[in-house]
């Protein structure tokens, strides 16, 4: 019985950690509030939002002809 508990716990931990590795870190909205001209490219043309987020970058595609996947502003630069 003790061995079954061990394997169950091990399986849950492995699955949990693997899902964290595939996810992205949630950025504060202030980190992505950059003027379009101030954006530094973090991706490549036609990058998906998911891949951009997985790189730890911001994604915003509502403005045509500007960088959509861009590096976030550092938290210490944000004005709250």
- pLDDT at res. 22: 53
Given a contact cutoff of 8 angstroms between Cβ atoms, the answer to whether 25 and 54 are in contact is no
Superfamily of domain 25-80: Spasmolytic Protein, domain 1 (4.10.110.10)
Predicted confidence (pLDDT) per residue in 7-52, tens digit: 555 554 554 444 445 556 678 889 999 999 999 999 998 899 999 9
Plot region of 64 (φ>0 → left; ψ -120 to 50 → alpha; else → beta): beta
Q: Which of 49, 74, 43 is nearest to 61 (CA)?
A: 49
- pLDDT at res. 19: 44
- pLDDT at res. 14: 54
């Amino acid at each position: 019985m003790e061995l079954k508990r061990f394997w169950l716990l091990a399986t849950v931990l492995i699955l949990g950690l693997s899902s964290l590795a595939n996810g992205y870190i949630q950025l504060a909205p202030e980190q992505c509030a950059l003027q379009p001209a101030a954006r530094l490219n973090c991706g490549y043309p036609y990058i998906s939002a998911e891949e951009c987020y997985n790189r730890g970058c911001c994604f915003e595609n509502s403005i045509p002809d500007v960088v959509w996947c861009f590096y976030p502003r550092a938290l210490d630069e944000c004005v709250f």
